[in-house]
Amino acid sequence: MIIVMKPHASKESVDAVVNVVKSKGLSAHLSTGEEVTIIGVVGDKTRLAGQNLEIFPEVDKIVAVTESYKLTNRKFHPEPSRVKVKNTEIGPDTLTIMAGPCAIESRDQLINTAMAVKEAGATILRGGAYKPRTSPYSFQGLEEEGLKYMKEAGEITGLATICEVIGTKSINAAVKYVDMIQIGTRNMQNFNLLKEAGQSGLPVMLKRGMSATIDEWLNAAEYIVAEGNPNVVLCERGIRTFETSTRNTLDISAVPVLRARTHLPIIVDPSHASGVRSYIAPLSRAAIACGADGLMIEVHNNPACALSDGPQSLTHEQFAALTEELRPYAKLSGRNF
């Protein structure tokens, strides 16, 4: 449930309500807006039986939150969240572009592409060091060696960095080298991994499971936040449908649906959603128009020779042309880019 305080309620009266909630063994999460403070209560509400919180003079109303996800729920935190990653922020004021190769293949390849995407306006460098491939015989990633190149590329360019993690070993390595971790579509409901990501101290981008409903996705995000890590970003990357013309189907309606249900920032990945290079620009424009806070785009110095996802990867030149094309769209949506 949430306890909505009256506009400009004093700190003393907010503290008094919080103390009652905590004294019953429940946790209280404050969301302080410009006028109104909301206290989100998590735990067994029956413990508040007989405790009429509405009699506190500055309590306006008490609203039940029926959804099972609470901390990620927009009712708990009506303002959109901002997630800081190194020197950049993902949130309502900016259009964040994450770009880079699907997989880190070598030091030179990564640094070369990092410089190109930085030049074109990306602020976060992506690249997989642990690749969850469909076939066990496909390239599995450079693992810790790749993370070291990521750190170096971040230092050279000033870009923040993001890498996918797939288990305890990769989380423990990632915290030493990167600024943000990614949980991929295949692991969206790997609940142990979600908990460990929540404990890692790093911001997390949670990609949508390829067959997950939005409800399941928000509950997965709740696992991370419930570990005390509020820095979670969601990434729509396409879902499985009957359509085979594209690799997945970009569920563009997920953007406004998420916006209505959660305060977490929303990224769209048109690369994995479409699997086709030429569809990335129109889908990127659609994502911005729908209110996405950013895009994740795969870029390779030589897509024809990429070890994974070459057909959907943009060349350096195509990526630079794309970001130029997107600038007016970002401006129209009131976002800095």
> Where does this chain bind ligand PEP (CB under 6 A)?
102, 128, 164, 184-185, 207, 237, 272
The CA distance from 19 to 17, in Å, is: 5
Given the structure tokens 């919080």, which residue do they identify?
18
C-alpha 70: how far from its chain's center?
A: 17
Phi, psi of 74 (to 5 degrees): -65, -25
Measured from the CB of residue 164, what is the shortest distance to ligand PEP in angstroms? 6
Token pair of 336, please?
């800095």
Residue whose CB is less far from Mn ion, 102 or 193: 102
Residue whose CB is less far from ligand PEP, 128 or 265: 128
CB 177 within 8 Å of CB 150: yes
Measured from the CB of residue 132, what is the shortest distance to ligand PEP in angstroms? 6
Residues 294-313 that bind Mn ion (CB under 5 A): 309
Measured from the CB of residue 118, what is the shortest distance to ligand PEP in angstroms? 19
Measured from the CB of residue 102, what is the shortest distance to ligand PEP in angstroms? 5
Residue whose CB is less far from ligand PEP, 103 or 120: 103
Neighbouring-strand partners of residue 30? 39
| Interacting partner of 185 out of ligand PEP, Mn ion, none (Cβ under 5 to 8 A depending on kind) | ligand PEP
Residue whose CB is less far from ligand PEP, 237 or 261: 237
Measured from the CB of residue 45, what is the shortest distance to ligand PEP in angstroms? 36
CB 198 within 8 Å of CB 204: yes
| Interacting partner of 207 out of ligand PEP, Mn ion, none (Cβ under 5 to 8 A depending on kind) | ligand PEP
Under rule CB under 5 A, residue 293 binds Mn ion: no
Residue whose CB is less far from ligand PEP, 38 or 299: 299
Measured from the CB of residue 265, what is the shortest distance to Mn ion in angstroms? 21
Distances (CA, A) of 179 to 48, 54, 170, 269, 304: 40, 43, 14, 19, 29
Under rule CB under 5 A, residue 102 binds Mn ion: yes
The CA distance from 97 to 138, in Å, is: 28
Give the angle 310-315-316 at the CA atoms, nearest 5°: 140
| Interacting partner of 261 out of Mn ion, ligand PEP, none (Cβ under 5 to 8 A depending on kind) | none
| Interacting partner of 77 out of Mn ion, ligand PEP, none (Cβ under 5 to 8 A depending on kind) | none
Measured from the CB of residue 151, what is the shortest distance to Mn ion in angstroms? 21
The site that binds Mn ion (CB under 5 A) totals a number of residues, namely: 2
Strand spans (E) along the chain: 2-5, 27-32, 37-42, 59-63, 83-85, 88-90, 96-100, 124-126, 160-164, 180-183, 204-207, 232-236, 266-268, 294-298
Residue whose CB is less far from Mn ion, 293 or 309: 309
- Of all residues in this chain, which one has the CB nearest to Mn ion in the complex? 102
Distances (CA, A) of 299 to 115, 152, 186, 295: 12, 18, 22, 12
Under rule CB under 5 A, residue 273 binds Mn ion: no
The amino acid at 295: L
Residue whose CB is less far from Mn ion, 102 or 224: 102
CB 86 within 8 Å of CB 122: no
Give me the residues that bind Mn ion (CB under 5 A), please.
102, 309
